Amino acid sequence: MTDEWQGWREAAEQALYGPDGFYVRPGGPGPSGHFRTSVHASALFAGAVARLLGDIDESLGRPRELALVDVGAGRGELLSAVLAAAPRELSARVRAYAVERAPRPPGLDHRIEWRAEPPSGVAGLLFANEWLDNVPVDVAETDAAGVARYVLVRREDGEERLGDPVTGPDADWLARWWPLAPGGEPGLRAEIGRPRDAVWAAAVATLDAGLAVAVDYAHERTARPSFGTLTGFRAGREVRPVPDGTCDITSHVALDACALPGAELLPQREALHRLGVTAARPPLALASTDPAAYVRALSGAGEAAELTARGCLGDFTWLTQPAGSSPPDGIGPSGA
C-alpha cells in the first residue's frame, strides 16, 4: 500500500479526532480516564481560575454578562468547578462555554453551553488547559546529510521513516522557532508548532476584551529538546506513540511561538502563587484550637504543593494574552 505512511499531523488528527478517535469515541472515559491534569488534581486550581475571572470582571467594570470560555474542555470539569467556586453574584452573570470536539457528557450543568468553536465577540476569560499539546503537528527529523525531513508514521504499529524535505512555511517556522541541525547532525527532531500558533491566534481573536490563558507543558527557543517530545499516554501510563486511536498523542508546546504582542509566559507555580494558592502549612496551634480546620488546611497545602511542585505540574507554563483595546494587565493581585 502506498498510503499507509502519513505525516504525524495527519496521523494524529485521525487517531485522536477521526471516526472512533481517542478523544471523540462515544462512551470513552474522557481525558481524566487516561491522565491527571491540574483540573483533576485539586479544586484549588478551579478556585484560582475563579479568582482570575473575578479580577477580569473588575477590570471590565463588572459587565452584565461575562464570558468564561474553556477550550479543550474535556468533560466540562473545570467549568463546573469554577461556577461552583465563584461568588454567587459573579457566577450569576457568567456565561460558560465548553469548546470541545468530544460530545457533551450527560448530566452536565445546564448553564454550560457545549460547542465546537469558541463564541466570537465576547468579553471575559478564555482558558485552555492542556489543549494545545493535543493540536496535532508534523514532526521533522534531520537525515544523514543534516537535511530536515518530515517524519512519516504507520498507523498500525507506529513505525517511522523519513519523507520529503521540510519546505515552505514549515521550514520558515523551524528556522525561526526551532532551528535543526546546526552542525548537520543526523537524528535531531522537532515538532513543527505552526498549527498551534494558528489555532491560538484564532481563539484569542474571538475575545473582544479580557484575557486568554493557555496552560501547557512547554519549552522555549533557548532550550528546545534535541529529539522532540512526541509521546503517548494510555490509562495513566506513558506509552510509545502509535496513532491507532488507542492512546493519547501529545507533544510539548512551543508557547513562545504562540505568544502574541503583550503576552506573558510564566511557570504555573508563579501564576498560582499570584492567584493566592500557597503550599504553606497551617500553624500548629490551629490543631488544638480547631482540629477539623487544621486537617482541612493541611490537605489544602498538600494539594497546593502538587499543583506548584517543581518537576511536575508546577513546571507547566501559563501563556497569558490580554485582548481588546484596553485589556487587563495579566494575572495577579495587582494585575487583571
Ligand X SMILES: C[S@@+](CC[C@H](N)C(=O)[O-])C[C@H]1O[C@@H](n2cnc3c(N)ncnc32)[C@H](O)[C@@H]1O
Q: How far apart are CA 89 and CA 154, in angstroms?
A: 53
135 binds ligand X (CB under 6 A): yes
Q: Work out how close the CB of 117 gets to ligand X at its nearest, in angstroms, rounded to a whole number.
A: 7
134 binds ligand X (CB under 6 A): yes
Contacts of 292 (CB under 8 A, 6+ apart): none
Contacts of 285 (CB under 8 A, 6+ apart): none
DSSP letter at 324?
S
Stretch that binds ligand X, among 71-79, 83-91, 153-161, 251-259 (CB under 6 A): 71-79
Stretch that binds ligand X, among 69-77, 169-177, 216-224, 299-307 (CB under 6 A): 69-77
155 near 1, Cβ under 8 Å?
A: no
Q: How far apart are CA 271 and CA 228, in angstroms?
A: 26
Angle at 227 between CA 224 and CA 231, to 5 degrees: 100
DSSP letter at 260?
P
Please state at what angle helix 43-59 crosses helix 291-308, rounded to 10 degrees. 80
Q: Work out how close the CB of 142 gets to ligand X at its nearest, in angstroms, rounded to a whole number.
A: 29
Q: Work out how close the CB of 303 gets to ligand X at its nearest, in angstroms, rounded to a whole number.
A: 16
197 binds ligand X (CB under 6 A): no
Closest residue to ligand X, judged by C-beta, is 72
The residue among 29 and 186 lying less far from ligand X, judged by its C-beta, is 29
- By CB under 6 A, the residues from 83 to 122 that bind ligand X are 99-102
Q: How far apart are CA 324 and CA 204, in angstroms?
A: 10
229 binds ligand X (CB under 6 A): no
Angle at 165 between CA 159 and CA 166, to 5 degrees: 100
Tell which one of 7, 47, 54, 74 touches ligand X (CB under 6 A). Answer: 74
- By CB under 6 A, the residues from 23 to 62 that bind ligand X are 23, 31, 37, 39
Q: Work out how close the CB of 249 gets to ligand X at its nearest, in angstroms, rounded to a whole number.
A: 11
Location of C-alpha cell 480516564: 33
Q: Work out how close the CB of 91 gets to ligand X at its nearest, in angstroms, rounded to a whole number.
A: 19
Q: Work out how close the CB of 37 gets to ligand X at its nearest, in angstroms, rounded to a whole number.
A: 4
Give the binding site for ligand X (CB under 6 A).
23, 31, 37, 39, 71-74, 99-102, 129-131, 134-135
